[in-house]
């Protein structure tokens, strides 16, 4: 009986921890409003797509990750493998590596968002959507996934 109670307590603690982690890592509009690449960005690599979207190279430093982790509840480095330091606006949609565009997204959710990112980037590449429309689809997914569910 003692082991059974210990197991229940452990399961409850893990469930509570996962819930708190998920809640703590939804994108905070104050910390991560999203930020687009521009020719003035130090990681600017040129313009792409028929709609002439500014693109930045991926370059998020360890220091930037530490700052983001601190802003989002001081996530310890030992927990980082559970997250993707995600671009709110993906690089392929013209997102920047600016810290205002980075947040720690739990891996499972990151993989879900990747499906949409691949879709909107293909649409940009083929000229069937604009950057504004692509960013709006990303924002809609975030609002629905984190704030309306």
Asked if pLDDT for residue 4 goes beyond 60, the answer is no
Q: Domain range holding 139?
A: 2-148
Can you tell me which residue has the tokens 């059974």? 4
Q: What is the pLDDT of residues 24-80, one digit of tens each?
A: 478 999 999 999 999 999 999 999 998 899 999 999 999 999 999 999 999 999 999
Contact 107, 84 (CB under 8 A): yes
Distance (Å, whole) CA 13 – CA 85: 25
pLDDT at 148: 79
Total domain count, the chain: 1
Question: What's the mean per-residue pLDDT of the chain?
Answer: 85
Helix H or strand E segment including 66: helix 62-71
């Amino acid at each position: 009986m003692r082991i059974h109670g210990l197991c229940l307590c452990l399961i409850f603690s893990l469930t509570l921890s996962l819930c708190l982690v998920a809640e703590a890592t939804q994108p905070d509009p104050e910390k991560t409003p999203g930020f687009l690449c521009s020719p003035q960005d130090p990681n600017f690599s040129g313009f792409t797509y028929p709609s002439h979207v500014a693109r930045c190279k991926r370059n998020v430093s360890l220091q930037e990750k530490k700052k983001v982790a601190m802003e989002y509840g001081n996530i310890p480095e030992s927990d980082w493998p559970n997250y993707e330091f995600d671009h709110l606006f993906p690089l392929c949609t013209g997102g920047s590596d600016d810290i205002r565009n980075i947040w720690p997204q739990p891996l499972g959710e990151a993989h879900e968002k990747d499906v949409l990112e691949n879709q909107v980037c293909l649409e940009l590449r083929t000229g069937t959507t604009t950057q504004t429309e692509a960013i709006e689809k990303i924002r809609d997914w975030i609002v629905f996934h984190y704030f309306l569910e």
